[in-house]
Structure 1
Amino acid sequence: MKIYIKNMVCDRCKRAVRRTFEDVGLNPVQIDLGEVEIEEEEVSAQREKLTAGLHKEGFELLDDKRIQIIEKVKNIITDLIYNRDNELDVNLSEYLTERIYKEYSYISNLFSEVEGITIEKYYILQKIERVKELLIYDEMTLSEIAFQLNYSSTAYLSNQFKSVTGSTPTQFKKLRNIHRHSIDDL
């Protein structure tokens, strides 16, 4: 049985979710961002404890199919940017369609309707948050960051960064009062 969960964005989230499922007596077989496959076919007896345990860790059970699709889009984009260095062999719409098994127009309209932002804008915001993180680490040059995140050029990255944040990457890096957003707040 698959169970869908909101706010899973990293490997630590997977570990916390696994622990929560095991604490209520459920046996996870596979855990991916946003979804857990369990051995059990029924969870009604543990549902209340599971909901409370997940909520305590900052997660939510997702029962609405539309919200599950949106959460899946967010998790795919997060994984793409944070774990796969934004490596795309196809465009984003095709990438999402291949992983969600729905028409892109449906996915896009649903996402925009519920989130009030386009998938492309969400994708850009996530990329810029990753750029901020890499700038703060101060281990890579802007050119290396642009290359890692698959930007066509440093200039394009800088322009996109400035249009989203209002400052250039260099200005941002000089600021010590850095305002980053949590991934699940985007």
Structure 2
Amino acid sequence: MKLYIKYDFNAACKKILEEQLDKTGVSYTLLGSREVEIRQNIPTAKMNQLIAGLGNYGIEIIESQKSILVQKIKDTIIEMVHLDEAQATLKASDYLSEKLEYSYGYLSNLFSELTFTSIENFIILQKTERAKHLITTTGLSVSEIAWELNYSSVAHFCTQFKGVTGLTPTAFQRIIKKRRKLLNGESDIDLISGISTENNINKNQ
């Protein structure tokens, strides 16, 4: 028997973070999903305990200012692609510069320096994940999804989608429909994770 799991990544990380911080006994405030304000000094032993506890879940405390900015770039791109409707009317370069208050040239060079991939590739990966979600959870056509993700043309969208997944959006839709029939329409199951895809772009997340 195979189970396909769907989960909220941010909610899971927040829960883990709260549990590990509570173990230290320090007073804190969560600022969004990736920032924490500690309202007192943490003894070295407690800090090591926190680092080790978070490390067990693959969560790392970032200390380098450059690394912090790169993480903010990633978070802003995810917000732009998955959450913010305004992205449909703004160029990614303008959106990032406006949100982070740095020139796009500086952000682009820093991102490439630390991740060994480009901002453009990271955006393509996020758009592909968003497209897969829309295909799986909505009745939107390929053309409508291309427009939703601010592509200049359907052909451009299809080319990028296939470059990441190895499938055209239409082929992906057919697979989803077949799997739904096999699973008797159990729409709460995350069908995306059951599809083996070939990723031709360096994720380096």
User: Which band: TM-score by shorter chain?
Assistant: 0.7 to 0.9
> Is the contact made by 2:161 and 2:168 (CA closer than 8 Å) also made in structure 1?
yes
| Residue-pair matches, total | 176
> Is the contact made by 2:117 and 2:204 (CA closer than 8 Å) also made in structure 1?
no
Uncovered stretches (5+) of structure 2, i.e. residues with no partner: 1-8, 180-193
Residues 86 and 161 (structure 1), Cα distance of their counterparts in 2 relative to 1, 3 Å cut: farther
Percent identity reads: 35
Q: Which residue of 1 aligns with 2:195?
A: 178
> Is the contact made by 1:14 and 1:31 (CA closer than 8 Å) also made in structure 2?
no
> Is the contact made by 1:66 and 1:110 (CA closer than 8 Å) also made in structure 2?
yes
Q: By how many angstroms is 1:48 displaced?
A: 0.7
Q: Provide TM-score, normalisation by structure 2.
A: 0.70
The RMSD of aligned alpha carbons is 2.8
- Counterparts of 1:1-186 in structure 2 under 5 Å? 10-42=10-42, 44-85=44-85, 87-137=87-137, 139-175=139-175, 178-179=195-196, 186=205
Residues 97 and 43 (structure 1), Cα distance of their counterparts in 2 relative to 1, 3 Å cut: farther
For structure 1, which segment, 82-91 or 56-65, has the greater mean C-alpha deviation from structure 2 after superposition?
82-91
Q: By how many angstroms is 1:82 displaced?
A: 2.4
CA distance in structure 2 between the aligned counterparts of 1:86 and 1:151, rounded to whole angstroms = 14
> Is the contact made by 2:88 and 2:149 (CA closer than 8 Å) also made in structure 1?
no
CA distance in structure 1 between the aligned counterparts of 2:76 and 2:138, rounded to whole angstroms = 26
Larger radius of gyration: 2
Q: Provide TM-score, normalisation by structure 1.
A: 0.76
For structure 1, which segment, 16-25 or 85-94, has the greater mean C-alpha deviation from structure 2 after superposition?
85-94
Q: More strand per residue: 1 or 2?
A: 1
CA distance in structure 1 between the aligned counterparts of 2:13 and 2:87, rounded to whole angstroms = 23
CA distance in structure 2 between the aligned counterparts of 1:139 and 1:40, rounded to whole angstroms = 50
Residues 23 and 143 (structure 1), Cα distance of their counterparts in 2 relative to 1, 3 Å cut: farther
Amino acid at match of 1:159: T
